[in-house]
């Protein structure tokens, strides 16, 4: 899919920390009016784990304020029920298997199921064409090798964590390896990871407030991914407030409320610099919540790692003052990969290469938008005794959803309109629907099989 949009050619952004650009030529007034973009990605946040999405045992007032100021999505989807593929889709506008990331990129080669393709074009590269300064703060999880470092893939500034998860929110290590970086430099920092990422994001906004060009800040938190390790005072507050709450649930609620506080600090910093009214803020998650960790996915079936709705449907809210109607709600399907063309269209950058996502700008602006019946696909490749390096798949067309829970399980067919909880398998009752959707999925699998997903042979293992 190619997007035909207005293309404005400008010079590259100013130097910050990392792969800085030379000072650019003067921008027109129209170019200077481009909105800033702050894209906040939570990690493993369940569909029902915000007070604005129905949680009754937590208070997420800052995300709720975004819901009040913007548009709430009830049918937003991650491109995968696990981390790396969704992030690859977000950054490239492609199905993740089309850019070499069908599964989780991990530290050790024997359990690694992805390698971000070197010819993939990433969102910061596109936004740079419109004069945006681009920054990534927080979790990267798209490769540990230097060629896939954020500064090698289009970002001007990186202050965060290269790996998949932290074994401890305070020690910031994974397998006893330090993946914290400022630019290319390994760093050590004290404090809870959520606070660190918030501090670094606030510092970036403070600095960019004095500059003329718009900025794109991709803020990816580790929270509420395991280990479920909230600061003590936040946990004690939840226990005092929520009488009788289970210990496991209390810890997750505290970790999410602590994350919400970080979001509030980012919002306050934008307002302090009078940037809020000219900034698009997106808040969403990379996949569903982990039930074993105490997460809640609302009325949806299953959880993180699974291709049922609880694994892939996520909370999502978008604020753009003066453009998006406050308090609006949409049931439009939107996948992570759709943000690439959406933000490019907003920035005025033409997408000339093939992508799979579709711009949702008309939906954001409250206008009618055709194309609701497009075919949608999901995959997850994984190791272990259950997956054995193979992949599970899902496909959607209209209300019909085909689900392959794992390589050892049969495909199931559900009608999401009549059966939103995916309780009634209609494979035998709707054989023609099953055959048609299965045929479309097979064609997608064949297309995906052309893309390598392993790194070069010389990959360093730890």
**CA 106 to CA 164: how far, in whole Å?**
6
Distance CA 148, CA 116 (A): 7
- Sorted by where each starts, the structural domains of the chain and their CATH numbers stand as 35-364 (3.40.720.10), 376-448 (3.30.1120.10)
What is the average per-residue pLDDT within 443-455?
A: 95
Q: Could you give the CA distance from residue 151 to residue 147 in angstroms, rounded to a whole number?
A: 9
Options 80, 83, 133, 172, the catalytic residue: 83
Instruction: Provide Rg for the chain, Cα atoms.
Output: 21
Given the residues 136, 141, 172, 444, the one annotated as active site: 141
Q: pLDDT tens-digit profile of 192-236? A: 999 999 999 999 999 999 999 999 999 999 999 999 999 999 999
Cα 225 to the chain's mean position, in Å? Answer: 13
* Positive/negative CA dihedral, 176, 182, 184, 188: negative
Q: What is the token pair recorded at 235? A: 């946990």
What are the start-end ranges of the H helices in 217-297? 232-241, 247-272
Backbone angles phi, psi at 87, to 5 degrees: -65, -35
Q: What is the pLDDT of residue 429?
A: 98
Cis preceding linkage at 227, omega within 30: yes
Distance CA 339, CA 368 (A): 18
The number of helix segments (H) and strand segments (E) in the chain equals 12, 17
Dihedrals phi, psi of 395, to nearest 5 degrees: -145, 145
Q: SS3 for 412?
A: strand
Q: How far is CA 40 from CA 12, 37, 351, in A?
A: 24, 10, 23
pLDDT band at 381 (very low <50, low <70, confident <90, very high): very high
Determine whether 80 is an active site residue: no
C-alpha to C-alpha distances, 146 to 97, 143, 159, 401, nearest whole angstrom? 21, 8, 15, 39
Q: Is 141 a catalytic residue?
A: yes
Q: What is the pLDDT of residues 26-59, one digit of tens each?
A: 333 334 479 999 999 999 999 999 999 999 999 9
**pLDDT-above-90 percentage for the chain:** 88
Q: Residue 38's closest CA among 140, 134, 181?
A: 134
Mean pLDDT along residues 286-315: 98
């Amino acid at each position: 899919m190619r997007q035909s949009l207005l293309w404005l050619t400008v010079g590259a952004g100013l130097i910050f920390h990392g792969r800085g650009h030379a000072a650019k030529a003067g921008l027109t007034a129209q170019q200077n009016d481009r909105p800033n973009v702050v894209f906040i990605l939570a990690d493993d946040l369940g569909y029902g784990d915000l007070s604005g999405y129905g949680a009754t045992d937590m208070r997420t007032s800052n995300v709720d304020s975004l819901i009040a100021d913007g548009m709430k999505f009830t049918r937003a989807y991650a491109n995968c029920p696990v981390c790396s593929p969704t992030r690859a889709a977000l950054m490239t506008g492609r199905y993740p298997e089309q850019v070499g990331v069908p599964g989780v990129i991990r530290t050790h080669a024997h359990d690694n199921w992805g390698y971000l393709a070197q010819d993939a074009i990433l969102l910061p590269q596109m936004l740079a064409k419109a004069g945006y300064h681009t920054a990534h703060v927080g979790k990267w999880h798209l490769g540990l090798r230097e060629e896939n470092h954020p500064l090698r893939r289009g970002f001007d500034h990186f202050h965060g964590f290269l790996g998949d998860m932290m074994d401890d929110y305070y020690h910031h290590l994974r397998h006893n390896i330090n993946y914290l970086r400022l630019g290319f430099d390994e760093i050590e920092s004290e404090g809870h990871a959520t606070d660190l990422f918030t501090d670094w994001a606030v510092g970036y906004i403070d600095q960019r407030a004095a500059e003329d060009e718009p900025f794109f800040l991709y803020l990816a938190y580790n929270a509420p991914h395991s280990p479920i390790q909230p600061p003590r005072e936040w946990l004690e507050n939840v226990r005092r407030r929520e009488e009788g709450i289970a210990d496991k649930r209390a810890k997750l609620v505290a970790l999410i409320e602590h994350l919400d506080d970080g979001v509030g600090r980012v919002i306050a910093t934008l307002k302090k610099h009078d940037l809020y009214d000219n900034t698009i803020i997106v808040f969403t998650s990379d996949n569903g919540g982990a039930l074993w960790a105490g997460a809640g996915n609302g009325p949806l079936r299953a959880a993180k790692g699974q291709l049922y709705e609880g694994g892939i449907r996520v909370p999502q809210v978008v604020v753009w003052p003066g453009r998006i109607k406050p308090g609006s709600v949409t049931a439009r399907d939107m996948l992570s990969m759709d943000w690439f063309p959406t933000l490019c269209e907003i920035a005025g950058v033409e997408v000339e290469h093939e992508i799979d996502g579709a711009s949702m700008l008309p939906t954001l602006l409250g206008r009618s938008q055709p194309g609701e019946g497009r075919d949608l696909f999901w995959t997850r490749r994984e190791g272990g005794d259950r997956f054995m390096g193979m992949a599970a798949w899902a496909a959607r067309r209209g209300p019909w959803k085909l689900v392959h829970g794992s390589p050892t399980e049969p495909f199931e067919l559900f009608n999401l309109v009549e059966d939103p909880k995916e309780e009634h398998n209609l494979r035998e009752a709707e054989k023609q629907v099953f055959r048609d959707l299965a045929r479309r999925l097979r064609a997608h699998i064949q297309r995906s099989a052309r893309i390598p997903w392993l790194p070069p042979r010389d990959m360093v293992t730890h």
